[in-house]
Structure 1
């Protein structure tokens, strides 16, 4: 039987990161536009959105899921008491440990996110959590399980910032020369990962118990036209 799927490029984070120079931190984690690292102003907008959204305080213990090479979170290490970054990429974690780890309060661990949230033995220590630019690459089953376990097991996490999500309703603003089929839009291994509308993401989060508030980046942000941020909180949070 002939498949009616349209061909499209796949993406592997670890392989891509290894293809970049060791000191090209933004290139390794694809904080780029047309292959070139974004400007400091763009990075500062991301950092400000995360710090403001999570309301990071000096006594917070921050969990960063799919943290990459640590280049982004190291810009707000001084705003919290402790930080743990988790990523499945052996190369990216090696870069993070070499350049940004400050043992014992700032640490990185090599593990897939879904496996980590299942196995973490001290979940109560974390007060806030972050997943920036990576959630769309989680397989659907992992996305569901991660949100559920963060709500049920990591009971002291009051806020979860999930950033840079691709908006299915704004897809045409990104794909200006072609229209991807549903297979590509729902494939976590595609170049962008899984596209979800705000309504779809809200249902995903609500099913795990979270309240959701959607946030938009300034118009001058390079991906503002087709991405959004989501701030998840518990019922006790106002």
Structure 2
């Protein structure tokens, strides 16, 4: 509904009111990450998030903070952004828990869930988001890559362009989706990443050569064949109207 999705988010009250008036049944969402100063721990009980959250609470990793009951019966826990890069990704080794931070967003009250038709509601006690404890920050970070992982010979350069205010964060989040994809879905995830990076090329946020290099490298990291990597990149770029 916007030119660059959540990268076109605004804090202009009049513009927000106009969007709500134009699409009164649309969902409201909040851009997470360093710009909003927020990290949200997204708990989905349908995929085991309840048990994972109970374990995090027992370990003292998730202190009481501002929270939302989601329309699907889950929970969003709001924390202050620590200032270092926290990507949006599944929390490692925690079933049913996602981290929404740099490169992400969450739906907020009083939106209605598209499937259950239930509202998102603020928790019983409104409060300010609290600081993330160091152990929670560590739990939100991806596993360290293996020593044998191939890296690009030249650092990938990105540039702010056409509404993409943090292209490096966007690129990192896009590539991390491939790194964290389960076996069997890595090629399709690489294709989706190629489409996202192609849009960055079209916006002028990354050069064509750097885009190909970054996607090829991440494909190699997840053990895709050269043929499958090329097919995913070519297909993704083609579907965004860009030659690979």
Please say which structure displays the higher CA radius of gyration.
Answer: 2
Q: Would you say same fold, with TM above 0.5? A: no
- What TM-score comes out, normalization by structure 1 length? 0.29
